[in-house]
Chains A and B, each alone.
Chain A
Amino acid sequence: MSFPIADHSCWRCGQTPEEENESASLFCRFCNSLQRPVPDYFAFFGFEKHLSVDMDELQRRYYMLSRQLHPDLFTRATDTERNYSLEATSILNDGYRILRDPVQRAEYILKESGFDIGEQRSKDVPPELLEEVFELNMALDELRQGDADALPQLEAARDQFKVMQGEIDDELAARFREHDAAAREETRQQILGTIRGILNRRRYIRNLIQEISKEFATRTA
């Protein structure tokens, strides 16, 4: 496992690990004090930058690292170590949250690889969904005008979108494996570009599902 440490030498004793791979822990190997962490989620958990992550192993490492870094263990430490513990644990928790969710994990890698993933709130409907979205909007309009007959139609639409989302997730998983297996950096970047497109479509469909669900919720409330 290799932790990213911000400074090359220990803040307390000033000693430097001789080799890069020696920094196998956030603790100085000479004086055992906690070092300033860097927010690199994959490195933090000691994983390769892969899109597929072993969930059991992720949880195991999360618990193990919590037992080393949590602020509860540094109540009586120096201010510096207390702050680093707070920093490190927030990175650990944030990282765990992002890495265990495939979509957030992919978005994180995209961002790290220089892709712009900022909330693509574009109103552009993906061309393959044009027909479905048109019909959905019609049904929503009818419903809002008080026509309850549109309800079953909406329910069917939601089910259909959920199936689509499932298909997208399968496709994502396949692309993840493809990315992780690719030997060349160029190929990986190319696959990431494809994944970005898939994620945009997924987000669009997720928003549609949420919109329908919200409509149901207000109706039953």
Chain B
Amino acid sequence: MSTFQIDFSAITKRRIVGIDLGTTNSLVAFMDLTGPQVIPDAAGSALVPSVVSLNDDGTFTVGEAARQLLIDRPDRTVYSVKRLMGRGVGDVQDELKLFPFHVAPGSENVIRLDLDGKLLTPPEVSAQVLKQLKAQAEHFLSEEISQAVITVPAYFNDAQRQATKDAGRIAGLEVLRLVNEPTAASLAYGLDKRKDGVVAVYDLGGGTFDISILRLKDGIFEVLSTNGDTHLGGDDIDNRLLSIALEDVASEWGEDLSHNGAAVQTLRRAVIEAKEKLSFVPATTIQFAWKGKVFAREITRELFERLIAEIVDRTLQPCRNAMLDAGLTAEEIDEVVLVGGSTRIPMVRQAVETLFKAKPHSELNPDEVVALGAAVQAGILSGDVTDKLLLDVTPLSLGIETMGGVVSKLIHRNSTIPASATEVFTTSVDGQRNVLIHVVQGERELARDCRSLARFDLKDLEAVPAGMARIEVRFLIDANGILNVSARDMRSGKEQSVEVKPSYGLTDTQVEAMIKESFEKAEADFAARQVREAQVEADTILNALKKAKVNEAWFNLTEAERLKIDKAHNELLTVYHSGTHTQIREAIERLDGVSRKLAENLMNTAVRAALKGTKIG
């Protein structure tokens, strides 16, 4: 006898989308039969500005509509939140000076944005962008989307990655993989189809800069090294132009507008427009109209390049470091790929070409290429793409703080992930019951110069004389670049409990609470929508009844029939405002049931009227 084997994985196979959660814009893409495709919104645009505005009723406006609100409601509208992900207030002093929104006290480990009294963390804000993308994909594909690949800058540290994953969870998405943006871009280019070789991906986005060097062989994309700066991008160019323009305006008008949120956002838009134009024309004008006054300043590409030269220069050292770590010279790099909107700037292209001595690729839209690559990775995870495999690396060394605050490195930067290290810990005092391990990320020798990642507390150790305990701790960086720690008592062989205290970012409990809140809200929203739909239905029947009651059909009913209808009518009116959608629907059905005769009478009257009408006509 043979048995049928049901492949449940095939039945429950869900689509995985690829998401580029960018500083300035975000996109969602999916794997079509022909290849990766970006998903447009109803208006046909695939780019969703990463801008979130809090409405008065507690709901959010996201994307293009929110971008308009940057000017009208600058204190409740958040942009470039990616720069705040996984950071504490001490890390972002410079950008906070230019942001119009406020930061609440107690933002040391997680920034809490104060939008008119409502506190929001960066993952919650990003979750709103993700929800928008999710809805856009669901609408376009006509199916529920619950799993995604999300891209992050290659140089993102553990906390920044974790924050991105948290945002996905809050948005109701299972984040199956975080992929590094430059690596995703290399997937989208399909360079592996041409030939094996070494590729450098130069990614200058809105807020971050990454450089990755990859070896391509038989469909394997092996990252050899990566480097970058998570605080360097188009935003810095905008900010430089903006601060100069603000000074110019101040000297021309004798009015300092730098503390006026709406004015700053209007001027910000004007300088961005000028910046974008300068990629195509040799000169343009910064136009700024404010309260009846007009400011116009010509800017040439030459001046623009002088202003941004230092920013472009700052991308070159990471490129050299990456080549050094890969053990390669510029001559050994076969292809260079440009990613990110800022690589449209001719000066950036020129700098890349000079450094790598090769004409860079820019055939694919630099705004879309990362999302397209994320969709390819989603295809790899779903099993639809079988000829490609990404082997990525961890951008920063992982170490533990030892005596005297010195870092002992366990996993070196540019190690292929998943990567692991095992270390044995012991106690230094008789009867010591716990050991605290401070884990840091970075290249410096002292822990205080590195990024604190978390403190791991080995708890409830068996009380033994000093130095007798042997706890084996395993540090494992997974394929998302996120650290997992497990411990084992070597004497008993038993699993040792580890309590994690992240230095930056949300705890698991906090994320759970946010998911719950967002879920409860979603439930409330859903219930409200169902009630609204039932009310609309009720309106139809109530209107019909109102008209019928003045018709002769109403008077053709018996007294008892009219009483029944009136009773059902009153029942519906009672639940109309206070009932659930089921109660309203039930009342509608009851009223509908007792009104059949009335409907028939109405029909007959209408037919008679129509017949009469025919005769007359």
A215 and B403 CA atoms in complex are apart in Å by: 25
Q: Which of A70, A75, A89 has the largest number of chain B CB atoms within 10 A? A: A75
A66 and B417 CA atoms in complex are apart in Å by: 11
B389 at the interface (CB under 8 A from A): yes
Instruction: Rank and list the top 4 A-B pairs by shortest CB-CB distance, nearest first.
Output: A90-B418, A90-B420, A75-B381, A93-B416
Size of B's binding interface in residues, CB under 8 A: 25
A186 and B421 CA atoms in complex are apart in Å by: 31
A97 at the interface (CB under 8 A from B): yes
Size of A's binding interface in residues, CB under 8 A: 17
- Closest approach, in angstroms, between the C-beta of A216 and any C-beta of chain B? 15
Task: Assess A93 versus B419: contact at CB under 8 Å? Given A67-B389, A72-B390, A75-B176.
Answer: yes
Residue of A72, A90, A93 near B380 (CB, 8 A) is A72
- Closest approach, in angstroms, between the C-beta of B379 and any C-beta of chain A? 10
Main SS of chain A's interface residues? helix
User: 1/0 contact trace for A14-25 toward B, CB 8 Å?
Assistant: 000000000000
Q: Which chain B residues (1-57) contact chain A, with CB distance < 8 Å?
A: 9, 13
A-side contacts of B418, CB under 8 Å? 71, 86, 89-90, 93
A141 at the interface (CB under 8 A from B): no
A219 at the interface (CB under 8 A from B): no
Please give the residue numbers on chain A whose beta carbons come within 8 Å of chain B beta carbons, in ascending order.
63, 66-67, 70-73, 75-76, 86, 89-91, 93-94, 96-97
B220 at the interface (CB under 8 A from A): yes
B-side contacts of A86, CB under 8 Å? 418, 476, 478-479
B-side contacts of A94, CB under 8 Å? 419-421
B-side contacts of A72, CB under 8 Å? 177, 377, 380-381, 389-390, 479
A211 and B76 CA atoms in complex are apart in Å by: 53
Q: Which chain B residues (463-498) contact chain A, with CB distance < 8 Å?
A: 476, 478-479
A-side contacts of B256, CB under 8 Å? none
A-side contacts of B415, CB under 8 Å? 93, 97
The chain A residue sitting closest to B412, CB to CB, is A97
The chain A residue sitting closest to B477, CB to CB, is A90
Q: Which chain B residues (369-416) contact chain A, with CB distance < 8 Å?
A: 377, 380-383, 389-391, 415-416
The total of interchain contacts (Cβ-Cβ below 8 angstroms) comes to 55
Please give the residue numbers on chain B whose beta carbons come within 8 Å of chain A beta carbons, in ascending order.
9, 13, 176-177, 217-218, 220, 377, 380-383, 389-391, 415-421, 476, 478-479
Additional A-B contacts beyond A73-B383, A76-B382, A97-B419 (12; CB < 8 A): A71-B478, A72-B381, A72-B479, A76-B9, A76-B13, A76-B383, A86-B418, A90-B418, A93-B416, A93-B418, A94-B420, A96-B416
The chain A residue sitting closest to B418, CB to CB, is A90
A128 and B421 CA atoms in complex are apart in Å by: 35
- Pairs A–B under 8 Å by Cβ, sample size 22: A63-B217, A66-B220, A67-B389, A70-B389, A71-B418, A72-B380, A75-B177, A75-B381, A76-B13, A76-B382, A86-B476, A89-B418, A91-B420, A93-B391, A93-B417, A93-B418, A93-B419, A94-B420, A94-B421, A96-B416, A97-B415, A97-B416
The chain A residue sitting closest to B417, CB to CB, is A93
- Closest approach, in angstroms, between the C-beta of A194 and any C-beta of chain B? 28
The chain A residue sitting closest to B484, CB to CB, is A86
- Closest approach, in angstroms, between the C-beta of A188 and any C-beta of chain B? 26
A-side contacts of B421, CB under 8 Å? 94
B-side contacts of A91, CB under 8 Å? 420
